[in-house]
């Protein structure tokens, strides 16, 4: 945010935009919690929100509508140092294990099948895999389970066809997000590329 402010941007936190107003081929205003916000003739709008929110804001926008969860578990325990800082597991429930100072974190992708299981059940199932991978003590340490139910769109051919490009039917409005047609899956790299595509669509050097 410091870089944005240094470039003259005004940052408004906790200011959800609930609607857009349209004038011919342009977006002319935003509906904020404190009232309308005008979009000037030289202003552009970058819609960088989850796909379902983008579809609510922009009429007729086709976006992915099927999602996969990501499951994360964080165990309060010191793990051994690894060259890369993480390892991958094959044949278990855990997929990736990240070693951080005093914490070992597990990530499981495409985790819809685990969303109805309790935190206690998930921790009890996954801790033995972590323990065996690192040779840790058998007793399970304190833990936290985080379920992100709409972490990514489902990577299916049908959902791939629903990924929009950066440009929209409004000449001063572009899209950014890992769900857009970046050529990459719903990853951090895809999100970064989407931002570059949005900047390029607006003629901004990135």
Quick one: pLDDT at residue 205? 62
Alpha-carbon separation of residue 106 from 44, 53, 94, 109, 138 (angstroms): 40, 29, 6, 10, 17
Give the C-alpha distances (Å, rounded to integers) separating 30 from 163, 170, 173: 24, 14, 12
Asked if 186 and 131 sit in the same domain, the reply is no
Q: Are 202 and 174 in contact (CB under 8 A)?
A: yes
Domain match, 73 and 92 both: yes
**Cα–Cα–Cα angle for 48, 50, 52, nearest 5°?**
125
Asked if 98 and 108 sit in the same domain, the reply is yes
Q: Which residue carries 């989407």 as its tokens?
A: 194
- 177 and 146 together in one domain: no
Last residue within a domain, chosen from 113, 129, 152: 152
- Position 206 scores a pLDDT of 56
> What is the spatial distance between Cα 142 and Cα 76, in angstroms, rounded to a whole number?
5
pLDDT for 203: 87
* Residues 82, 59 share a domain: no
| 3-state secondary structure (DSSP) of residue 37 | strand
For residue 7, tell me if it sits in a domain.
yes
How much is the pLDDT for 1? 82
The CATH number assigned to the domain holding 21 equals: 3.50.50.60
Tell me how far the alpha carbon of residue 202 is from its chain's centroid: 23
Asked if residue 146 is part of any domain, the answer here is yes
Structural domain includes residue 46: yes
**Does residue 54 share a domain with residue 79?**
no
- Choose one of 135, 152, 169: the last residue of a domain: 152
Buried b (16+ CB within 10 A) or exposed e, 157-188: eebeebbbebebebebbbbbbbbbbbeeebee
**Same-domain pairing of 147 and 81:** yes
184 plus 138 within the same structural domain: no
Say if 206 falls within a structural domain.
no
Full residue range of the structural domain in which residue 12 is found: 2-65+156-201
Task: Check which CATH number belongs to the domain holding 143 and give it.
Answer: 3.90.660.10
Backbone φ and ψ of 40, nearest 5°: -75, 170
Determine the pLDDT at residue 139.
94
Judgement on whether residues 141 and 161 belong to the same structural domain of the protein: no
Q: What is the pLDDT along the chain (206 residues), one digit of tens a residue?
A: 888 899 888 898 889 999 999 998 999 999 999 999 999 999 999 999 999 999 999 988 999 999 999 999 999 999 998 888 999 999 999 999 999 999 999 999 999 999 999 999 999 999 999 999 999 999 999 999 999 999 999 999 999 999 999 999 999 999 999 999 999 999 999 999 999 999 999 988 65
Identify whether residues 110 and 82 lie together within a single domain.
yes
Same domain, 132 and 71: yes
pTM, to two decimals = 0.84
Total domain count for the chain? 2
């Amino acid at each position: 945010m410091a870089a944005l402010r240094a470039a003259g941007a005004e940052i408004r936190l906790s200011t959800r935009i609930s609607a857009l107003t349209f004038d011919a081929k342009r977006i002319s205003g935003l509906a904020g919690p404190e009232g309308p916000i005008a979009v000037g003739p030289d202003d552009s709008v970058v819609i960088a929100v989850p796909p379902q929110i983008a579809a609510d804001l922009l009429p007729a926008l086709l976006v992915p509508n099927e999602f996969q969860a990501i499951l994360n578990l964080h165990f309060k325990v010191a793990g051994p140092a690894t060259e890369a800082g993480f390892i991958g597991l094959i044949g278990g429930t855990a997929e990736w294990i990240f070693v951080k100072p005093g914490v070992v974190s597990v990530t499981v992708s495409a985790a819809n099948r685990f969303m109805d299981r309790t935190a206690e059940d998930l921790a009890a199932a996954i801790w033995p895999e972590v323990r065996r991978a690192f040779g840790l003590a058998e007793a399970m340490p304190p833990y936290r389970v985080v379920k992100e139910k709409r972490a990514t769109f489902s990577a299916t051919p049908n959902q791939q066809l629903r990924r929009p490009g950066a440009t929209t039917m409004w000449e001063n409005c572009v899209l950014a997000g890992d769900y857009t047609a970046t050529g990459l899956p719903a990853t951090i790299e895809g999100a970064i590329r989407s931002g570059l595509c949005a900047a390029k669509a607006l003629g901004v050097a990135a």
